[in-house]
């Protein structure tokens, strides 16, 4: 408790309670997929934080773990009110903020903000919930938001998906790893972005093996549109 600090401990307890509540009401595959995405985003956020010299890498881990917490109430709502045949267009709501808003009248960033406010999250953590899909809107701690946004997008383009995907690749000769890092953390140099991208890629591959994501796991449905593969095919 002394190592974690009261605020982090309280945040984790609240998160575990919400997860347990939702876990009994939502299909286990959905919760597993949610948690895998959050765990990988958290671990890569911490690595990236250390890589760029961010002073609180543990905070980056926590922010990565919680960035999509607003999706849990939406998953719960989705399982209690399944999509009807006439609303089949909503099936892909997890991949688009716009569809999410159409389906629920709100999105997971906004729900994350409500949760964060009611749980008394720090302003920086709250900002991660709200801005991780638009890191340039961050004011309190743009580095923290940029770190989590980059780790999140890195997982999404690798197929570990929970929620909204990254923007379409712009077709430039810049490697997608580097594109993500430079878009989320504009102050880092292209050389640094290249090195950090390689580091994240190596870590990601190690983590995937460690977590034993088999063919029937997160990749069961096939890796979705993957800019890395497109890039590799072009070069």
Contact set with Fe ion (CB under 5 A): 68, 152, 163
Residue 95's nearest CA partner among 145, 133, 45, 143 is 133
Q: What are phi and psi of 149, to 5 degrees?
A: -60, -45
Cβ atoms of 109 and 131 closer than 8 Å = yes
Beta carbon nearer to Fe ion, 192 or 219: 219
Beta carbon nearer to Fe ion, 154 or 231: 154
List, in order, residues 6 or more apart from 113 with CB less than 8 Å away.
Answer: 70, 126, 129, 130
Beta carbon nearer to Fe ion, 136 or 172: 136
Q: Which two tokens stand for residue 85?
A: 């045949």
Q: Which two tokens stand for residue 91?
A: 């099936």
Residue 185's nearest CA partner among 158, 157, 148, 159 is 148
Place of tokens 């010299």: 53
Q: From the CB of 50, what's the least distance to Fe ion, in Å?
A: 20
Beta carbon nearer to Fe ion, 132 or 182: 132
Beta carbon nearer to Fe ion, 131 or 193: 131
Q: From the CB of 74, what's the least distance to Fe ion, in Å?
A: 11
Q: From the CB of 72, what's the least distance to Fe ion, in Å?
A: 12
Q: What are phi and psi of 165, to 5 degrees?
A: -80, 170
Cβ atoms of 41 and 155 closer than 8 Å = yes
Q: From the CB of 97, what's the least distance to Fe ion, in Å?
A: 8
Q: From the CB of 6, what's the least distance to Fe ion, in Å?
A: 26
């Amino acid at each position: 408790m002394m190592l974690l600090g009261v605020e982090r401990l309280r945040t984790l307890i609240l998160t575990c309670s919400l997860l347990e509540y939702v876990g009994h009401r939502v299909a286990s595959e959905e919760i597993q997929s949610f948690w895998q995405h959050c765990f990988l985003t958290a671990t890569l956020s911490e690595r990236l934080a250390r890589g760029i010299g961010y002073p609180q890498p543990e905070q980056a881990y926590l922010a990565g773990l919680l960035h999509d917490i607003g999706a849990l109430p939406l998953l719960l709502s989705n399982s209690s009110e399944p999509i009807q045949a006439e609303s089949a267009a909503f099936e892909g709501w997890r991949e688009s903020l716009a569809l999410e808003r159409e389906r629920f009248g709100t999105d997971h960033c906004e729900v994350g903000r409500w949760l964060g406010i009611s749980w008394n999250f720090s302003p920086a953590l709250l900002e991660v919930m709200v801005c991780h899909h638009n890191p340039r809107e961050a004011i309190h701690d743009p580095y923290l938001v940029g770190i989590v946004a980059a780790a999140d997008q890195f997982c999404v383009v690798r197929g570990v998906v929970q929620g909204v995907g990254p923007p379409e690749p712009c077709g430039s000769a810049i490697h997608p790893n580097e594109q993500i890092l430079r878009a989320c953390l504009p102050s880092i140099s292209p050389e640094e972005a290249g090195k950090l991208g390689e580091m994240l890629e190596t870590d990601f591959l190690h983590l995937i093996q460690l977590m034993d994501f088999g063919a029937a796991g997160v990749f069961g449905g096939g890796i979705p549109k993957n800019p890395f593969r497109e890039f590799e095919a072009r070069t």
